[in-house]
Amino acid sequence: MADINIKVLSQTGAEVSTIKLSKDVFGVEVNEQTMFDAVMTYSSNSRQATAKTKRRHEVSGGGKKPFRQKGTGRARAGSTRSPIWVGGGCVNGPDGKQSFTLKQNKKEHDLALKSALTTKVKDFVVLDKLTVGGKTKEIIEVENALKVNDQKVLLVSEDSAILQGCANLTNIIVRGVNNISVYDLLNANKIVILSSDIKKIEEDLK
């Protein structure tokens, strides 16, 4: 496989150098199953699982027998809390304790991350540095300079000023270099990242 070289830009969009990417991280054989498992794990673990219905012992009323046992022609009933009554308890609904947690071991997750990085390497926009003062206007100027203003962007940074500047922009998701998920990579049209963070990813996944 040929060397993977990518341009390094300034935040104004000018090319300043190139960077050589590791084939062991950005040039692996893509494993779609591990990527699918990683996305399912991320999605399931993001669920709050707060849905709850009331059982018959939790609904109000039902203390008095609704009508006499015999002579009415109706089926006998002892409580309006019965699940067959309107307003009665629910039999098999969620109880608020359900868990949708899934797990993926580190070896599989690393392979999924490498596969996602390989799949999206053509969409990387690598910067030498990114310096802003925390204003949304400055982030928009950088977006325009890099020509990513009309796309879904994953911006890799832990800078508080960058986080503040991106807070009102719906097309940008900011993640720390140690908190990038397979879902975030696959869901983005462009990945904006510093060259120093590229090296950190390679060190962590080699």
Q: Which one-letter DSSP state was computed for residue 204? A: H
Measure the N-to-C terminal CA separation of the chain; round to a whole number of Å. 18
Specify the pLDDT at position 33: 97
Rounded to an integer, the average pLDDT of 101-108 is 95
pLDDT by residue (tens digit) across 49-87?
A: 899 999 999 999 888 899 999 999 999 999 999 999 999
Helix axes of 32-45 and 106-120: crossing angle, nearest 10 degrees: 110
Pairing label, strands 190-194, 4-9:
unpaired
Specify the pLDDT at position 201: 95
pLDDT by residue (tens digit) across 123-133?
A: 999 999 999 98
Rounded to an integer, the average pLDDT of 1-9 is 84
Specify the pLDDT at position 49: 84
CA distances from 82 to 68, 69, 91, 141, 206 (A): 16, 16, 9, 63, 60
What's this model's pTM, rounded to 2 decimal places? 0.82
Ranking 27-31, 62-66, 150-154, 198-202 by mean pLDDT, the lowest is 62-66
- Classify the phi-psi angles of 134: left when phi > 0, otherwise alpha if psi is within -120 to 50, otherwise beta: left
d(CA 81, CA 98): 24
Those residues whose C-beta lies under 8 Å from the C-beta of residue 27, and which sit 6 or more positions away, are: 1, 4, 21, 118, 121
Those residues whose C-beta lies under 8 Å from the C-beta of residue 10, and which sit 6 or more positions away, are: 16, 127, 128, 129
Percent of the chain whose predicted confidence (pLDDT) is above 70: 99
Those residues whose C-beta lies under 8 Å from the C-beta of residue 177, and which sit 6 or more positions away, are: 156, 158, 193, 197, 200, 201
Taken in order of first residue, the domains within the chain and their CATH numbers are 4-42+103-205 (3.40.1370.10), 48-99 (no CATH)
Band of pLDDT at residue 3, cut at 50, 70 and 90: confident
Rounded to an integer, the average pLDDT of 12-39 is 95
Specify the pLDDT at position 130: 93
Sign of CA dihedral 132, 136, 137, 141: positive
Those residues whose C-beta lies under 8 Å from the C-beta of residue 193, and which sit 6 or more positions away, are: 124, 125, 126, 127, 155, 156, 177
* pLDDT above 70 (res 42): yes
Band of pLDDT at residue 101, cut at 50, 70 and 90: very high
d(CA 136, CA 194): 19
Specify the pLDDT at position 2: 64
pLDDT by residue (tens digit) across 165-187?
A: 999 999 999 999 999 999 999 99
Band of pLDDT at residue 1, cut at 50, 70 and 90: low
